[in-house]
Amino acid sequence: MNDSEKTKGNSWRNPNIKLFSEMSHDLKTPINIIYSSIQLMDSYKDKLDAESYREKAIKQMDIIRQNCYRVMRMTNNLIDLSCHDSGFLKCKRINYDIVKLVKDIILSVKTYVNGMEADILFESHLVSKIIACDPDMIERILLNLISNALKFVDGKGIITIVLSEREDIIIITVKDTGVGISEDKLSYIFDLFNQAENFYSRHNEGCGMGLYIVKAFVEAHGGKIYVSSKVGEGSSFEIILPAQTLDNDEVRINNKVNKKASYSNVVMEPVNVEFSDIYSCIDYDYRKK
């Protein structure tokens, strides 16, 4: 191996170089699509009547919006990655009903999941349980895992979220009836730069930060996450969280997180962002429901 080859090989072992390379590649795609849509809209102006232009513009705006969500998702992940690796990832825990939180998250994605001819179920062994958690982090964790499951379940597939308690821990299990992951790949599924798609087959984009950040968010709660899977049968992600509460902290029942039960356009934003790398050909406009 000559000196230039050695230099190139060493550079790819530098995580920062690999990160910038992956991010540059994944950012280029949505930016190109956004620019192409803008060019198309510009070309329509002098060729179409007002009504025809409006119809074409609406379609292109949906494409632009979807790809803006993709950029937002990658940017959010990059910020979280930077905070985690520099030791500044903040877990803003409050006393919150974890049963209600998980249920609200599932309700917020159910219409989307059903629109992709899959189903999502919720099973809880608890009616209510107050624990100290960061509701926004829990939402990001579950949306990421549900998004991954949704990519790889066939038509009529089922995603099941199970919530249970054992001694002083809360267990949240996300399981699916998808294609599954081979056993030899399970040990490094949470590693940085390993796209979930690479463990199945690559149908979607992503620079491999999602599950790494999920693990970081779980560990920021003092918890653990485990995965089990069997090819052809599906996968199961088990999240273990401490069933603890904060002293002198009121139970939050009317804060901004709880308002997600209204499912307004603003409420849907986290779902649109986290699900933005699913390129399924569905004619269902989830944002307008």
Tokens representing 244 are 């603890």
User: Where does the pLDDT of residue 14 fall: very low under 50, low under 70, confident under 90, or very high at 90 and above?
Assistant: low
Helices 210-220 and 135-152 meet at what angle, rounded to 10?
A: 150
Q: pLDDT at position 248, please?
A: 72
Q: pLDDT at position 288, please?
A: 42
Contact 173, 106 (CB under 8 A): no
Q: pLDDT at position 19, please?
A: 62
Tens digits of per-residue pLDDT, 155-180? Answer: 679 999 999 999 899 999 999 998 88
Domains and CATH numbers, the chain: 15-86 (1.10.287.130), 94-248+267-275 (3.30.565.10)
Percent of residues, the chain, with pLDDT higher than 70: 74
Contact 236, 215 (CB under 8 A): no
Contact 190, 212 (CB under 8 A): yes
Tokens representing 261 are 């039960």
CA distance linking residue 239 with residue 276, whole number of Å: 23
Tens digits of per-residue pLDDT, 17-62? Answer: 666 666 666 778 888 888 888 888 888 877 888 888 888 888 888 8
CA distance linking residue 12 with residue 225, whole number of Å: 29
Provide mean pLDDT across the span 225-241.
Answer: 94
Around 207, how many Cα atoms within 13 Å sit in the side-chain half-sphere? 24
User: Where does the pLDDT of residue 70 fall: very low under 50, low under 70, confident under 90, or very high at 90 and above?
Assistant: confident
Helix, coil or strand: residue 181:
coil
Q: How many CB atoms lie within 10 A of CB 229?
A: 23
Tens digits of per-residue pLDDT, 198-211? Answer: 554 444 444 467 88
